[in-house]
Chain A
Amino acid sequence: MSSVPRGSGAGTARVPWPLAAPAAPLGTSDAGDDPTRPDAAGNWLWLVTTQPRTLLVLGPAADGLVEFARRRFAATTTVMPAAYLARTIPDASADCVIVANALESPALDFASALWLLRHCRRVLRPGGVCCAAAPNPLWYGLLAPRDAELAAGRRLARLARGVWGAARPGVLPQLLRRAGFAAARRYYVEPSLDAPRAFVPATGAAVRAYERQSSRSRLRAPLVALGLHAALFPDTLFLADV
């Protein structure tokens, strides 16, 4: 049931009944209907060819993601943190590597980023996939909501990473290719990688079809027509196959 209420609909002066809060076992929020459950973030794995049996999570702030992945995939998948990727993980031993917050720092130079991606390629089995994300600077520069949820400082940081970081969308595909991956599939993600509601292939046809399906601001139509897709979505997800 998806009936969308607007306003309280109150039409009486009586004090509302103090109804008990309903049982809300699965991550409800006041954000709208069908709130996104935290574990939905792993559904991008349906976009890769095979369900991974061994999954590595790589990055300086990967602890939370490792914990999440262990909960989410415990039944079918071995999830490991890969903080010491080069030394401890054997060649061709993993099905999937998630690069989490490791490429986005503006301080990381291209040589270091390439070194890291080459090791990702090394530890992946044939048929494996590397998942890396990049913020879209156009979005953070143009359309990011000016509200408390995305404070100005954080927006500027994302903008900086998108413009100068090794993970910027214009550069990451080249780095992945130079690291030995096949051409990367590129998806736009909204509203965020933490709670993604949509993964849209970064092609003109897919973006136009997606936008036609959604009730969106009129501001977006000219950006779609001009092909400025990176201004419409906060993040880009790259899935690079071995």
Chain B
Amino acid sequence: MNRELRALLAEAGLATGAWSDIILVHNVAALPPPETPRGDYIWNRGFNLLVLDAHGRVAHYCKCRRPDDEALANETRVREVLARDPALAAIVPSTRGVASDAVQIQVSRHVPGDSFSRMVAVLSTRRWERAVGEILAAVARVTTRAAELMPHLAAPAGGVTLADEAAWALEHLGNAGVPPETVARLARVLEEAGRAPSSPQHGDLWPGNIVRHDDSWWLLDFEMFGRIRIPLYDAFHLVRTSWHLRPGGALPLLALLRDREAGPACRSVLGAAARRAGLTRRQVGGAFVAYLVDIAARLHRRGMPSAYWMPYVTGLQRLDNDLAAPTPLEDLVPI
């Protein structure tokens, strides 16, 4: 292995043995980068390493990124703090960051176990509801402690103004071609929702970032942690993406909440999350619109293939149909 890489791993407390103990995976971009990437800031993901222990098991997971990758630096800072907290010892894997002029590396303890993305398709609706409820409760513990341990991540005392949080995304979608009357309708809902209590959101809470191990739900991939402050963002995203992985589950979020089979379970877990966050029905409606606007704009801005952002844009269009009807969003989630 490269001497510089080996020295950095040693600095992170990782004694690498034979060359055959290192597997290079998820190799997607050159390190060091030959050019400064444009577009969204987490685009260049370099590569990852799986580091085996003496028994041939994966012991550590290393993300290798460009030295100025702010997303990885943010994740490393957050996880180093959270993983030291005894209350989160079974939710956030221990992490250490090292860097040189050529590469930034995050070394994490590898969490064995089953990815929720592999489990979710075979769970009954009842077990899905219980699992998602448990995961959202674990996330709430993490975000609460994060706001205590890292006050700069905490939302202002009076909460956040939903229209302000979604302003950039509405502007982006308007520039990309969403009709002006739709932008105006969405903006009106956000204005009417006013301010809402908030906490730092994980920002990428989908089943692939959740692992079941030792009767605990472990959370991975904190690159976006704290960057989004729209309340219930994680809850909406987990409900949407986890149901999406179930047979026949490819529905826009609004349709999902009104679906005969999925609706009661989805509304139930979202209701519990909304009560925990102290939101009113109007604020939940506003948060719902803010989530849909943000995720559609974020994926579109990132330059992902259309298969990624189009479903969210379609969901937004469906919401626009309802707003034009109009159907009150306050009844979406029981509180």
Contacts and interface: CB of A to CB of B under 8 A. Distances in A.
B19 A47 contact: yes
Contacts of A4: 117, 206, 208, 241, 245
B124 interface: no
Most buried by A among B178, B251, B310: B310
Contacts of B250: 5-9
Interface stretch (A97-105, A108-116, A146-154, A204-212): A204-212
B58 interface: yes
B47 A40 contact: yes
Interface string B187-204: 000000000000000011
A142 interface: no
A195 to B, nearest CB: 9
A36 B29 CA distance: 6
A44 B30 CA distance: 10
Contact-residue size bin, chain B (C-beta under 8 Å from the other chain): 35 or more
Given A49-B1, A50-B3, A206 B24 contact: no
B314 A8 contact: yes
Given A37-B29, A215-B118, A198 B23 contact: yes
Task: Summarize A's interface: helix, strand, loop or mixed.
Answer: loop
B323 to A, nearest CB: 13
Shortest beta-carbon contacts, A-B, top 4: A205-B56, A9-B311, A39-B30, A7-B250
B272 interface: no
Contacts of A5: 244, 250, 307-308, 310-311
Contact of A43 (B47, B221, B302): B47
A217 B303 CA distance: 30
A72 interface: yes
Nearest to B6: A49
A119 interface: no
B205 to A, nearest CB: 9
Given A26-B39, A185-B19, A201-B23, A3 B204 contact: yes
Contacts of A225: none
Interface string A187-230: 00000000011111101111011101101000000000000000
B71 to A, nearest CB: 10
Interface stretch (B73-81, B91-99, B263-271, B293-301): B293-301
A215 B25 CA distance: 13
Contact of A200 (B23, B47, B244, B301): B23
A206 B52 contact: yes
B31 to A, nearest CB: 6
B317 A197 contact: no
Given A12-B321, A26-B39, A71-B34, 8 more contacts: A17-B179, A19-B300, A30-B307, A40-B47, A47-B19, A47-B22, A49-B1, A209-B58
B131 interface: no
A152 B24 CA distance: 30
B204 A1 contact: yes
Contacts of B308: 3, 5, 33
B157 to A, nearest CB: 29
26 contacts: A1-B42, A1-B206, A1-B224, A1-B298, A6-B245, A7-B311, A9-B311, A12-B314, A14-B317, A18-B177, A20-B177, A26-B38, A33-B308, A34-B45, A46-B2, A46-B24, A46-B47, A51-B4, A185-B19, A198-B26, A199-B23, A206-B52, A208-B56, A210-B50, A212-B58, A213-B50
A64 interface: no
Nearest to A51: B2
B19 A201 contact: yes
Contacts of B280: none
Most buried by B among A11, A16, A75: A11
A66 B154 CA distance: 51
Contacts of B3: 49-50
A12 B325 CA distance: 14
B20 A201 contact: yes
B122 to A, nearest CB: 14
B150 interface: no
A29 interface: yes
Contact of B52 (A8, A50, A209): A209
Given A8-B250, A17-B179, A201-B22, A3 B29 contact: no
A209 B47 contact: no
